[in-house]
Amino acid sequence: MSVEIKVPTLGESVTTATVAKWLKQPGDAVQADEPIVELETDKVSVEVSAPQAGILGPQAAKEDQEVEVGALLTTLEPAKAGAAPAAKAAAPEKKAEPVAAAAPAKAAAPAPKAAAPAPAVDAGAALPAARKMMAENGLSAQQLAGTGLGGRITKGDVLGFLANPQAATPAAAPKPPRNDDPREERVKMTRLRRTIARRLKEAQNTAAMLTTFNEIDMSGAMALRAEYQDSFVKKHGVKLGYMSIFSRAVVAALKEFPAINAEIDGDDVIYRDFVNLGIAVGGPNGLVVPVIRDADKMSYAEIEKTIAGFGKAAREGTLKLDQLSGGTFSITNGGIYGSLLSTPILNAPQSGILGMHSIQERPVAVNGQVVIRPMMYIALSYDHRIVDGKEAVSFLVRVKQNVEDPRRLLIEV
């Protein structure tokens, strides 16, 4: 009996992926746990392996096609018991039947693919989140213009239609082709970059996003590091960095202002008594946000070791899906690239993200005198649907206080 190979669960809030590359072709003999296809999400690339040894059947999804979780990818004819030693010698005969069977399947592709969850999409198809919102608002696919891969309707398309029904019509005139200059180079966006772009735009369209700013005198944190760095490294084997100082400051502030650590789910608000802290780190394919689970229970050393491990895994491309899901609040540090000020975008469905920036010496007034201090601008982007302006500003002030004087965390004031 053939075994169906489907798109696996891809992590929290991830419902679709793109077929990046088929590593094996119909008729190929594969071993158990041998990778057969590579899927790509907005977070990581995932290899789907054969559950057992056998011969691959026809492909139900093509490369560059978007597929949903649970969609059929291909089938596997189990290898017959006792046939392993002769498998190589009989390879041509064994491959002949599946390959011959695959040819008519391609010719009749529309028929079997129509009932499968992973068919080639048409302009009327909609992603799961979009379908749910369409049903809630009594909309049909004919009313909307899909901007997703293959013309699929995204959640952002539905939100855009609800905001301006007159502007969103499927019958809009097609955009005329662009005349490229000979000095220009046209390069197709990577699958990962396309997905990131779509999800970031959906985050903007979904949340009532607002950003508030403050600045921190880093003198206290720098003095703390200078005084205890050698002892810290000697005891824990890792350097004391600014990220752990900010992480502890953020955790304390989130406990005081729980709405910023909460999430909107329909008409409900989900409050949490824990903090899963997302830390943005750079990887070969762009920025990823692995999650420090239960950061509120971790010490400075534990946080530093976890972040160091994330950085190494990101550079090597070995981050796992479970390390990239479940975050409740995020921190991103553009300062390592020289950013002076920015407005970070929310990592949906989270309600807040803190942006750190570069440290620069600037003249500031202290006790009536102008002095030179190492200063950092910080930014909090938040979802105004759940977080009030007063809460956001107060949260940022508390982070500022906790970083400027880390002793506050010891005596909990």
Query: What's the CATH code of the domain at 350?
Result: 3.30.559.10
Query: Residue 67 falls within a domain, yes or no?
Result: yes
Looking at the structure of the chain, the number of domains it has is: 2
Task: List the one residue out of 373, 107, 343, 39 whose CA is nearest residue 220.
Answer: 373
242/390 same-domain check: yes
Give the tens place of pLDDT for each residue, 202-241: 788 888 999 999 999 999 999 999 999 999 999 999 999 9
Q: Structure pTM? A: 0.65
Distances, alpha carbon 322 to alpha carbons 11, 14, 36, 71, in Å: 6, 12, 21, 21
pLDDT of residue 409: 83
Q: Pull the structure tokens for residue 170.
A: 């499927």
Residue 379 CA from chain centroid, whole number: 21
Rounded CA gap, 299 and 279, in Å? 16
**Is 357 an annotated catalytic residue?**
no
pLDDT at 345: 92
Helix (H) or strand (E) holding 142: none
Domain boundary among 23, 55, 78: 78
C-alpha 36/C-alpha 311 separation (Å) is 28
| 278 bridge partner residues | 291, 330
CA distance 51 to 45: 19
Last residue of a domain, one of 78, 112, 134: 78
Judged on CB neighbours under 10 Å (0-12, 13-18, 19+), 145 is middle
Out of 58, 78, 98, a domain closes at 78
The catalytic position among 122, 230, 322, 388 is 388
Give the per-residue pLDDT at 113. 44
Determine which one of 122, 294, 384, 405 is catalytic: 384
pLDDT at residue number 11: 67
Q: What pLDDT, on the 0 to 100 scale, is given for residue 168?
A: 52
Residue at 336 is within a domain: yes
What type of residue sits at position 33? D
> Which strand (E) or helix (H) includes residue 274?
none
For residue 233, give its domain range.
Answer: 209-410
Q: Which two tokens stand for residue 13?
A: 């809030």
pLDDT at residue number 13:
62
Residue ranges in the chain whose pLDDT is less than 50: 83-124
Q: Residue 137's pLDDT is what?
A: 81
Please indicate, yes or no, if residue 196 is contained in any of the structural domains.
no
163 assigned to some structural domain: no
In this prediction, residue 332 carries a pLDDT of 95
Is residue 294 part of the annotated active site? The answer reads: no
74 and 223 in one domain? no
Q: Which of 183, 201, 171 is nearest to 348 (CA)?
A: 201
The CATH number given to whatever domain includes residue 56 is: 2.40.50.100
Is residue 321 in a domain?
Answer: yes
Q: Residue 374 and residue 372: Cα distance in Å, rounded?
A: 7
